Amino acid sequence: MEATKTYYGESRLFDSERVIDIVRDEFDDKYDITVQIVTFEGPRMPPYGFDTITLRVPGFEVIKYEHKDVSDITKLPLEAN
């Protein structure tokens, strides 16, 4: 994902992706899609990141990127929507 490469300055592996929100702008026919991912280095090795990214579609423009460092993967604050 290009957004993580831009944020971290290098490629990162990620999983646990989930869509947590979709907002439609009917006037401009655009969508803001918010996803959450867990980033890591190597084969599920720390440091872990819990990232919430909002993309505007069409174009997949990143309009918001929030990052939290997570040292204990069992305590990730995954939202369930």
pLDDT digits (tens, 9 = 90+) for 45-79: 777 889 999 999 998 899 999 999 887 666 665 55
pLDDT tens digits for 15-37? 889 999 999 998 989 999 999 99
More confident residue, 18 or 43: 18
Q: 32 and 22 in contact (C-beta within 8 Å)?
A: yes
Buried b (16+ CB within 10 A) or exposed e, 49-74: bbbbbbbbeeeeeeeeeeeeebeeee
Least confident of 2-6, 11-15, 19-23, 40-44: 40-44
- At 11, is the pLDDT very low, low, confident or very high (cuts 50, 70, 90)? confident
